[in-house]
Structure 1
Amino acid sequence: MTQIAHTARAQDYAFRLRDGLLGAQMLCVAFGSLVLVPLLTGLDPNVALFTAGLGTLVFQIVTRGRVPVFLASSFAFIAPIIYGVQAWGIPATLGGLMAAGMVYLLLSALIAWRGVGLIERILPPVVTGPVIMVIGLVLAPVAVNLATGHNGTGDQTLVASTPAMIVAGVSLLATLTVSLLGRGFVALLPIIIGVVSGYIASLCLGLVDLSTVTNAPWFTMPDFVAPTFNWQAVLFMLPVAIAPAIEHFGDIIAIRSVTGRDYLVDPGIHRTMLGDGLATSLAACFGGPPNTTYSEVTGAVTLTGATNPALMTWAAGFAVAFSFIGKLGAFLASIPTPVMGGIIVLLFGAIVVVGMNSLVQSGEDLTESRNMAIVGLILICGIGGLHFSFGRFSLEGIALAGVLGVMLNLVLPRSRSAHDRAAADVGDDETG
């Protein structure tokens, strides 16, 4: 019996070691995108690691440990965070992000009360599609400024134009090459490879100062920042949450197709949305970027066939542990801005394409008067810089686009054909 017990214990340790290694691999897959967001937005990468791990643990608790997803920095908030930091500072921006997490909680409650159909009627693709496009387009100049060696606003030169363009071109070309031609595990790492390639080019051109890495301690406390609340920042961030919240549905459906388990029912989309929202608000409390479910980790689950949600708990634990390594944060901070600029030119463009794709896949006739009005007004008012203010209340850019889109969708009358199709859909739902 003792021999059997020893054998069982050894097998248990072997399984835990295997799960730990698989969890570390999941974190490696997410790492590039995870730290890219704070590097682009001026937040602390070590804090982002900490909040990604903590947010994933919260998500696993809320969903009863049944969904194999990892939560980390959301790309949808990159442009809004950059604008928010420039306009109101980091603490006020964090307050807006904390409020954005509450949007998820509200959607979760609505879904639990009325079902997914209500959200789809309030936020159809004809609204969410152009709002997503505005997110990518409204700060396109920021991407160009960073890629050409300037700061986000373009009023300071950080790197000379010629070497900046070379570095940005190398990082962009490497990212494109891997995303288009990469195979197997390598195909999951286009951003990491793009950053590494751009960093090597920066070293060759003498653009990197490694003294900060050398002088940094091995172990340190992440630079946590507490949020403050500014109503302008809050109103600006609330509509931004619409796009990643809708994207959340797609991510959960994607992992469902991988594992064959219907997470929309068990634990329920309202629970996954709740977990995502709590993770986002919690991240803002510590000074981290909003969290979202990571598609690249879903790709890794597909590639490896490792569908055990416990692996994400391991990945979360590693993320929290790594956040206290000071040299890691100093190394990430030493990456020149053109490295990231070359990549976000592609990423901001990808956000625009995602919005366009959601419109195309919806099958809506965009030449129909109502749809044309909604899409056109969202794009022109959001991108064109229309500013609406009343006292201390102010709306512009992404916030204005989101609020305007929801209001137009609720107020403008549908055409007869669209009304008939909607009635038929409702009838089909009730029959089902």
Structure 2
Amino acid sequence: MAPGTAPQTTLSAEPRDFLRSLFDAAVAAALPSKIVPPHLPEKPRGRTIVVGAGKASAAMAKAVEDNWDGPLEGLVVTRYGHAAPCTRIEIVEASHPVPDAAGQDAARRILELVSDLTEDDLVIALISGGGSALLALPAEGLTLADKQALNKALLASGASIDEMNCVRKHLSAVKGGRLAAAAYPARTVSLLISDVPGDDPSVIASGPTVPDRTTFADALAIVRKYAITEPSAAIEHLERGEGESIKPGDERLQNAETRLIATPQLSLEAAASLCREAGLQPLILGDAIEGESREVARVMAGIARQVRQYGQPAPAPCVLLSGGETTVTVRGKGRGGRNAEFLLAFTVAMDGLPGVHALAADTDGIDGSEDNAGAITLDDTLARAAKQDVNAKARLADNDGYSFFDALGDLVHSGPTLTNVNDFRAILILEGGEPTARESDA
């Protein structure tokens, strides 16, 4: 036994099932039915208008309906397959991560809905991750096709979420505080579910109801950083720099209030509590971890090895928990989102080290644009892959994490969870025996 290690715990569930229970606990901590009601504002003298955008917005709208005693109207836009049954608030489904005409029309209607209000009226804005692509109303002079093309280029570039949303805000007629500005002088109360590292309200769904400190110059620097030159209309729009986003101190935001009601950290803490109940020490490594998925995976693998060899930063048995949003620079032709990419890179880096098992999944239930939330890797994953002649390194080089874990039956399928607090990663480290396979065998 390595220095500083602790005796092996006895789990009441297999590692696969325990990891899945941690993911479920993280999701449950951010469900709209639980987190929306305590944050609802007082009723206004005038109308109450509910608007919103994001993967959780429909479920948030239902939570408002179920807990609001009084007149209510509105419209929210969510991703296809993420609707919830509402009677007073209209639910529109649209495309994510690349916007479509349904999202464009919904954004236009939302903007119209909050116009011409009075100071006696209340706008409840339900904002969650995914709202940036779903609230797709191009700035004057741009087309939906322009936004779609630039969005695809950003998604493939490896740009971080704050970089992508900086650009999106400067191509939009509704994001970057413009929605709240349109609602003035009505009071706007925004309920936010954070899916971004650092929980910056101006980054969540590109901040439609909060001030924006970024500029056209910032957005232009980002597209140049990633050598994005098309579509020309969008690049020229950024170069002209006309029609800035709404800045701090703008009087049109003086009646706007923001309430952060769910964060990645709260979900990590829920998973940590479950670990302690199982007799395992949880270590929360961070809720805002960014970077290339495979590079983050190598770092996490190094920490896991340190635990096994030296009992640092904690002895086994323990669980390393983390959140955030990694990125993938797409070079291959395979399938898979950032969580499958992370987990496959982690599997390769661990090289069959016994007693180390992990899960990586998106809390919205969709890893990128696939039908899975993420995947699970066990200490025998490479051995099972070798038996099926599935080469992990080759699949990683092709950005094909989905197919790798699909071949082994190790994808995590949750369906849309109707919330979104970003990626969730759990690495379970137990005492184990000898490695069962090396990457050279798989």
TM-score band w.r.t. shorter chain? under 0.3
TM-score by length of 2: 0.26
The structure where helix makes up a greater share of residues is: 1
The structure where strand makes up a greater share of residues is: 2
Choose between structure 1 and 2 for higher RCO, CA contacts under 8 A separated by at least 6 residues: 1
TM-score by length of 1: 0.26
